[in-house]
Amino acid sequence: MKYTIRLVIADDHEIFRDGLLLMLSKEKDIIVEGQAENGFELVAMVKDKKPDVILTDIKMPRMDGIQATKLLINANPDQKIIALSMFDEENLIIEMLEAGAKGYLLKNANKREIMEAIEQVYEGNSFYCRHTSSKLAKMIVMSNFNPNKKTEKAVFSDREKAIIKLTCLQLTAQQIGDELFLSKRTVEGYRTKILEKMNVKNTAGVVIYALKHELIEEKDIL
Q: Tell which residue, 77, 76, 78, has the closest CA to residue 122.
A: 78
Q: What does each C-alpha distance from 214 to 152, 163, 181, 210 come to in angstroms?
A: 15, 15, 25, 6
Q: How far apart are CA 50 and CA 84, in angstroms?
A: 20
Q: What is the pLDDT of residue 212?
A: 86
CA angle 6, 116, 36 (to 5 degrees): 40
Burial class (CB in 10 A: 0-12, 13-18, 19+), 185: exposed
CA 58 to chain CA centroid, Å, is 14
pLDDT digits (tens, 9 = 90+) for 82-129: 999 987 788 999 999 999 999 999 988 999 999 999 999 999 999 999
Q: What is the pLDDT of residue 118?
A: 95
- Rounded average pLDDT per 10-residue block, the chain, 222 residues: 88 93 91 95 95 96 94 94 87 93 92 94 92 85 71 84 93 94 94 92 90 84 65
Q: Tell which residue, 171, 177, 160, 172, has the closest CA to residue 215.
A: 160
Q: What is the pLDDT of residue 67?
A: 95
Q: What does each C-alpha distance from 204 to 8, 62, 132 come to in angstroms?
A: 26, 32, 6
How many other C-beta atoms can be found within 10 angstroms of the C-beta atom of residue 5? Answer: 21
Q: What does each C-alpha distance from 39 to 36, 45, 68, 115, 195 come to in angstroms?
A: 7, 10, 5, 23, 34
Provide the whole-model pTM: 0.81
How many residues are recorded in the chain?
A: 222
Q: What is the pLDDT of residue 163?
A: 95
Catalogue all structural domains in the chain, each as residue range(s) with its CATH number. Answer: 5-130 (3.40.50.2300), 158-221 (1.10.10.10)
- When computed from its CA atoms, the radius of gyration of the chain, rounded to whole angstroms, is 18
